[in-house]
Copies of this chain bind each other. A is one copy, B any other.
């Protein structure tokens, strides 16, 4: 059994699909997988919207998408049309979209860690994130602990 660690930073739809495809592939091989979500990557874990923290924080929070279906492509985004077309194409080809890939990762026991510093910066509370049992809040040392144990570590 190997171990894999990832930092999900970008929050782009396509890069996140790559992250979860790798995570699910490894978890399917029986590997231990840990994903650390920071900055824009926190968008993937948002399940709802709590009260605005006010001021500048509210502005950043407002700009952070809620959940995977609102993410943009890293290119060919076309003001949001790109991800919609990609999801449609995935549907026709029998592929999984990002939302389904995240669900699969939860089923396969992939560990999610939400970056505490990013959450505080944006004014996000734990209640606004996915209710997944495998999701907890942690700091950079939590990431480093998983990364040092890992055979593969990726920044995405």
Residues of A within 8 A of B (CB): 2, 7, 9-11, 14-15, 17-18, 21-22, 25-26, 29, 31, 38-40, 56-57, 59-60, 63, 74-76, 85-86, 88-90, 92-93, 95, 117, 120-121, 139-141, 143-144, 147-148, 150-156
Contact = CB atoms under 8 A, between A and B. Distances in A.
Given A14-B39, A156-B155, A2 B95 contact: no
Contacts of A85: 56, 59-60
Contacts of A89: 56-57, 60, 121
B2 A140 contact: no
A88 B56 contact: yes
A93 B117 CA distance: 10
25 contacts: A2-B148, A9-B14, A10-B74, A18-B39, A18-B155, A22-B140, A22-B143, A22-B144, A25-B140, A25-B143, A29-B141, A56-B88, A56-B89, A56-B92, A60-B89, A63-B76, A93-B120, A95-B117, A144-B152, A148-B151, A148-B152, A150-B152, A153-B154, A155-B155, A155-B156
Q: 3 nearest interchain CB pairs? A: A25-B140, A154-B155, A56-B89
A59 B92 CA distance: 14
Contact of A29 (B26, B120, B144, B154): B144
A92 B154 CA distance: 31
Contacts of A38: 18
A141 B25 contact: yes
